[in-house]
Amino acid sequence: MTSLDDVARAVVRDDRFAAWTLRRQGEGWLELETQAVLERATAPLLVVLAWPEVWRDPARLAPHLVRARSGNYALMVVGHDDDFIAGAAHRLADEGDVAALAVPASIDRVVLALRARAETTALRQVAARLELELAQAHYENDLLIDTGRALSRERDIDSLLEIILRRARDVTGADAGSVYIVEGDDDADLRVLRFMVSQNDSRQIDSRGFTMAVSGSSIVGTCVMTSDVVNIPDLYRLDAPGLGNNPWGFVHDRSFDDKYAYQTRSILTVPMISARSQVIGVIQLITKRARGFIRLDAADDFGRGVVPFDAASVAYASSLASQAGIALENTRLYDEVRTLFDGFVRASVTAIESRDPTTSGHSERVAQLTTGLARAIDRVEVGRYRDLRFAPDQLKQIEYAALLHDFGKVGVREHVLVKAKKLYEHQREHILQRFQLIRRGVEVEGLHQKLACVEGGHLHRLHEIDASALERLRELEEMMRWILSANEPTVLEQGGFERIADIAGRFFVDPDGGRHPYLTAEEATALQIMRGSLTQDERQEIESHVVHTYNFLREIPWGRTFRDVPEIAGAHHEKLDGTGYPNRLTADAIPVPAKMMTISDIYDALTAKDRPYKKAMPVEKALDILAFDVKKGLLDDELYRVFLEARIWELVHR
């Protein structure tokens, strides 16, 4: 055979071409079709035979070359040896998948050449498909690995479930889906399923949380009870005769579909199983999209663009669900531990404040102010803190440090901690009793003097004795008034030190003849306190609470996440110029969260409700005092600026 007509007639008439069908022919070319010659090549194969008048003309050849690159279309150029020697056919090898057939050739040779060409094309198809499947497998495996990393990092349950569902849909091609978690005791009768999250690419869904009993009447309930995958090819054909698609007896409620003009067709429900082999959640994947469909808009799309979840989808979804089950269990355990830890922290705060009820709420307010300032710092774009950012765990660390910044007060003697006046109440009572004794002594002494005058006949002196006693009693009253005034935790009046010293330098004689001072040295020292109500020793004891805080908190196994809590809490009384306590740290050595807490602590101490030793200060005056401390170089100016501009104080004054 040599010509196009010879081949065309043979294909139609000769049994040796039984596997081939003549589809089309044109001037100088024939298009033949055969079914797959390899088991994995399922698509029909097309081979075009082109004679020299076609393959020598670039314009006529171009469409065939384009089709030859499609994968299931092969091009074979036909010609005499002289045609090929001319060289044009060799250049075609660079243009695409092209083979050559030299004529004249027998029918058997043509059939063998066509079969070889078809097999080569089929092998290319199989190779391309395998390459695509391999790439898809690599992508899906990488996705699972990346998902595992993402799940291991996430600690927020809502975010975790969003990730789980998104990745499950990505790997299976599901148009929609939802996640349920199991709540309640291990007893099946007490468990419920809580709807947590849903996603849908084709519809905007108004999803709201609800709970449902774990029972065999629902697909998700069955999944929980059996711990098995439930894969339904088409919910709309559950009860189709003879299909056997509904062994569970499910009834598809189409109210959701009717509301959103949607069709919940194929559905894959996979259990999330914990490390203790318990089903703790369910991933439900809905409506697997066929290739080429990104959204399902029209009703017809659900007929043409939805396919059942295949074995690969089940395998990948099950693998991801295994990861998700462990991650969900870890996150729930993390939440339980965090809740337990929060409870411990807040119970500790309650214990601290129960020793001094007048400061109730102080720790909570300082925590609110400090974390609020940290969040405001997160938003600044100028200044030296523009690059400072706090992750959620760091914010929680700051909160814990602020809540526990006064934890060390449990190591301070209670009578010092709650001291409201310069004198302790028992000291004040002793002074009152002492002055009462002194008054009685003056009165008794006056009576003795008057008796002696009567017995001696000096009655004219009685008035003088009464006047002298009255003057001494008035002086005692004035001394007592001065003492009670000096007892208030305010700055002493002019001459106050000298007056207290004068009173302390006086003595009286008790009924037994013992000589005693009006004020003991300890009482006089307390009354001469310049500011506040604490003596130097008592102030040092109060200040030691920071050391106690640090030492106590250091004994707690905070772990890596919260390991800086002791340092932050223990530095909240440090000042930038090194005049703070307990370690006299300077600016660079003080943690930034501690600098923020210092501002918050001072502000709340100034503005807190009235206490026995101070009145609540107006916000404006408190801010002025903070500003003055900033100018003195005690507080961080940038942090105070943000505190001011972001109006952080409003967090506790609303």
- The answer to whether 549 touches 408, Cβ cutoff 8 Å, is yes
Strongest mean pLDDT among 180-194, 460-474, 570-584, 601-615: 570-584
Q: Which residues contact 368 (CB under 8 A, 6 or more apart)?
A: 651, 652
Mean pLDDT over residues 460-470, rounded? 85
Mean pLDDT over residues 476-484, rounded? 91
Same domain, 267 and 299: yes
Q: Please name which of 539, 570, 557, 559 lies closest in space to residue 404, comparing C-alpha atoms.
A: 570
- The answer to whether 38 touches 126, Cβ cutoff 8 Å, is yes
What secondary structure does DSSP assign to 370-387, as a single string? Answer: HHHHHHHHHH--SSTTTT
Q: What's the structural domain count of the chain?
A: 4
C-alpha to C-alpha distance for 226 and 486, rounded to whole angstroms? 80
The H-assigned helical ranges of 516-616 are: 521-527, 536-554, 565-569, 592-607
- Which runs of E-coded beta strand occur in 53-210? 73-79, 98-102, 174-183, 192-200
Q: What is the predicted pLDDT for the residue at 38?
A: 59
* Other Cβ atoms closer than 10 A to 321: 23
Q: Which SS3 state, helix, strand or coil, does residue 563 take?
A: coil
Question: When comparing pLDDT for 278 and 372, which is higher?
Answer: 372
Same domain, 160 and 299: yes
Q: What is the mean pLDDT of the chain?
A: 85
pLDDT in tens, 392-444: 889 999 999 999 998 888 777 777 777 778 888 889 999 999 999 989 988 88
Using the structure block, give the residue that is written with the tokens 């002493």.
Answer: 492
Q: Domain with 180 in it: what CATH number? A: 3.30.450.40
Say which amino acid occupies 49: L
Same domain, 43 and 171: no
Using the structure block, give the residue that is written with the tokens 């043409």.
Answer: 304
Same domain, 404 and 544: yes
C-alpha distances in angstroms, 379 versus 374, 420, 443, 568, 593?
Answer: 9, 41, 74, 22, 16
Same domain, 441 and 409: no
Same domain, 493 and 542: no
Q: Is residue 631 pLDDT above 90, yes or no?
A: yes
Q: Backbone dihedral region of 265: left (phi > 0), alpha (psi from -120 to 50 degrees) or beta?
A: alpha
Q: Which helix (H) or strand (E) is 515 found in, with range?
A: strand 515-517
Q: Which residues contact 90 (CB under 8 A, 6 or more apart)?
A: 84
Same domain, 404 and 492: no
To the nearest 10°, report the CA torsion of 324, 327, 331, 336.
100
Question: When comparing pLDDT for 32 and 2, which is higher?
Answer: 32
Q: Is residue 92 pLDDT above 70, yes or no?
A: no
| Assigned domain for 343 exists | no
pLDDT in tens, 207-243: 777 888 888 888 999 999 999 999 998 888 876 555 4
| Assigned domain for 383 exists | yes
Same domain, 443 and 487: yes
C-alpha to C-alpha distance for 496 and 491, rounded to whole angstroms? 9
C-alpha to C-alpha distance for 226 and 233, rounded to whole angstroms? 19
The H-assigned helical ranges of 490-529 are: 496-504, 521-527
- Which runs of E-coded beta strand occur in 118-237? 174-183, 192-200, 211-213, 230-232
Q: For the chain, how are helix, strand and coil distributed in percent, rounded to 5? A: 55, 15, 30
Same domain, 388 and 403: yes
Q: What is the predicted pLDDT for the residue at 543?
A: 78
Same domain, 566 and 525: no
Range of the domain at 301: 154-333
Q: Which of 43-47, 49-53, 284-288, 562-566 has the lowest mean pLDDT?
A: 43-47
Mean pLDDT over residues 291-318, rounded? 86
Q: Backbone dihedral region of 442: left (phi > 0), alpha (psi from -120 to 50 degrees) or beta?
A: alpha
Q: Domain with 559 in it: what CATH number? A: 1.10.3210.10
Mean pLDDT over residues 520-533, rounded? 86
| Assigned domain for 283 exists | yes
Using the structure block, give the residue that is written with the tokens 């007896």.
Answer: 249
Same domain, 408 and 543: yes
Using the structure block, give the residue that is written with the tokens 């009793």.
Answer: 433
Q: Which of 96-100, 269-273, 285-289, 455-459 has the lowest mean pLDDT?
A: 96-100
- 592-607 and 392-403 are packed helices; what angle lies between their axes, rounded to 10 degrees? 40
pLDDT in tens, 174-207: 999 999 989 886 655 678 998 999 999 998 887 7
The H-assigned helical ranges of 217-310 are: 219-226, 255-260, 299-304
- The answer to whether 372 touches 337, Cβ cutoff 8 Å, is no
- Which runs of E-coded beta strand occur in 80-172? 98-102
- Residue 616's pLDDT band (boundaries 50, 70, 90)? confident
Q: How far is CA 480 from the centre of its chain?
A: 62
- Residue 638's pLDDT band (boundaries 50, 70, 90)? very high
Same domain, 585 and 482: no
Q: Please name which of 550, 577, 580, 579 lies closest in space to residue 565, comparing C-alpha atoms.
A: 550
C-alpha distances in angstroms, 518 versus 336, 442, 493, 507?
Answer: 62, 13, 20, 6
| Assigned domain for 518 exists | yes
Radius of gyration of the chain (CA): 47
Cis amide bond preceding 582, omega within 30: yes
Q: Which domain-ending residue is among 63, 96, 129?
A: 129
- The answer to whether 553 touches 565, Cβ cutoff 8 Å, is yes
Strongest mean pLDDT among 47-56, 98-107, 477-486, 587-596: 587-596
Q: What is the predicted pLDDT for the residue at 143?
A: 66
Q: How far is CA 23 from the centre of its chain?
A: 64
Which own/partner contact pairs does 276-279 have at CB distance under 8 Å and 24+ positions apart?
A: 276/329, 278/182, 278/186, 279/182, 279/223, 279/224, 279/227
Q: Which helix (H) or strand (E) is 32 found in, with range?
A: strand 29-34
Mean pLDDT over residues 28-45, rounded? 76
Q: Which domain-ending residue is among 129, 146, 166?
A: 129
- Point out which residues pair with 283 in neighbouring strands: 179, 270
| Assigned domain for 519 exists | yes
Kindly state the tokens that stand for 183: 């709540």
Q: How far is CA 451 from the centre of its chain?
A: 89
- 592-607 and 619-631 are packed helices; what angle lies between their axes, rounded to 10 degrees? 140
Q: Which domain-ending residue is among 502, 517, 532?
A: 532
Strongest mean pLDDT among 89-103, 106-120, 370-384, 413-427: 370-384
Q: Domain with 54 in it: what CATH number? A: 3.40.50
| Assigned domain for 193 exists | yes
C-alpha to C-alpha distance for 610 and 612, rounded to whole angstroms? 7
Kindly state the tokens that stand for 496: 């106050």
- The answer to whether 97 touches 124, Cβ cutoff 8 Å, is yes
Q: What is the predicted pLDDT for the residue at 494?
A: 46
Kindly state the tokens that stand for 382: 């100028």
Q: What is the predicted pLDDT for the residue at 648?
A: 95
| Assigned domain for 241 exists | yes
Q: What is the predicted pLDDT for the residue at 415?
A: 75
C-alpha distances in angstroms, 344 versus 146, 337, 360?
Answer: 36, 10, 17
| Assigned domain for 605 exists | yes
Q: Is residue 310 pLDDT above 60, yes or no?
A: yes
